[in-house]
Chains A and B, each alone.
Chain A
Amino acid sequence: MTPTLQIFLIISAALFSIGLLAALSRRHAIFILIGIEMMLAAANLNFIAFWRFNPGSLQTTGVMVAIFSIAIAAAEAAVGLALVIAVYRHYRTTNVDQLDQLKG
């Protein structure tokens, strides 16, 4: 049995849901970032899988989108974690539920 597109999509869906779980259920800002990164990785897996199972095409679009989204994910992680550190310096917490003041 060789893996079909369906199996890759199921794995990708599971990975996406786990990322969503981390992003929605945890209260620590870093967990939320990890969840977002995981969802992006799941989306990349989808892109690559659809590219691979696309019959009779020489295009590399799926691969290109995956490469660009990896680069964007890196930028997003850098800025997100810098924000976490800046917020931590200010409030001494990284729990997003406690960051409820509009006043700085």
Chain B
Amino acid sequence: MSKSIDQIFISAKQWLLSWLTGAPDWVIQVASSLINIFTLLAVFLTLFALMSVLERKILGRIQNRYGPNRVGPFGLLQPVADGIKMLIKEDIVPARADKIVHFLAPILIAAAAVLALGVIPYGRNMTPFTIDGGILFFFAVGSTTELAVFMAGWGSNNKFSMLGAMRAIAQMISYELPLIITVLPVVMVVGSLNPDAIVAAQNGYALGLVPRWFVFTPWGATAFILFFVSGLVESNRTPFDVPEGESEIVAGHMTEYSGFKYATFFMAEYIGMFAITGLAATLFLGGWHSPMRALEFLPSYVWFFAKLSALLFVYIWLRGTLPRTRVDQIMNFAWKFMLPMAFTCVIAAAVWHYAGRGLRGWLWSLVVIAIVYTALSILLDARRKFAPRTYRFAE
């Protein structure tokens, strides 16, 4: 029974495809891909709509106010109203803009965000597109975002746009290194770039109780935190939202966009966020595996989306809690702390592997990480003495 509920979407797809029996091979292939694409788009656009209203509600709770509560029950129809508003707004293109580049930028950024969703396993047998180098595909597609952001900044021919794009690219490139290097230990331990294999490697329970998720090893926990922070930067979220810091440069690379193009940027940002949290859940939180043997009767996709929602909630929580960091702080943090720690994760994973993947390996890798962390915190602690504050008055 629970097995059939677990595979209900697979069965539904098989049933849909059974209408096509007798058709040529390529028709079935194309139809199968189209079903995957439409399901993916439907699920994640719904999630985007839901997320946009829930984010405002949760931020409202954090800031001691109500949030949207006028449209529909509990304000749940707010995204529909927003969508209609965005659609009927005038689409303004600056007179001196590079029209083609200005037009193509939102398309490219949305396409890249949606493509990245395609390789994540959402449940048992529920990977939309199986590629042997799935993780590499994710990052290859994700790196296109930088080009799209640059196109938006350049095409707008506006100094705020250009500044925002420069900031965005600078921090994206800086944090792409820790993002990818923290994936390396997982790839090393599993021995595959295939997301399905990575999820399969996290099956089972140590001591019959603790799930064998990578987040429960010292290197995995460190890598997960680093990956999460880098993901926060890659999706330009608070506290790393300097590229679109409203109080400084209007809206960064999106300044000259209006109407539906602006909505596309907004959507791409959220979908990129889903993709990166989905990958974090896949790599470190066991993908669609359940945390306890007793709870395995729940379908696999429920677990995946539960983990995804938990991570997204942390995103919103951070946005409601932390102030915006400065550009130089972000850069220093990336190159002086994140990158060495990411390399340490690789070494710690190797130590864990060669010490037998048991308790001994656990302790040794903890020691490696603790040593590097302490050394880094001593080295980076400038203990800057601040001079007493002096005031200069206009004379």
A–B: direct contact at CB < 8 Å: no
Residues of B within 8 A of A (CB): none
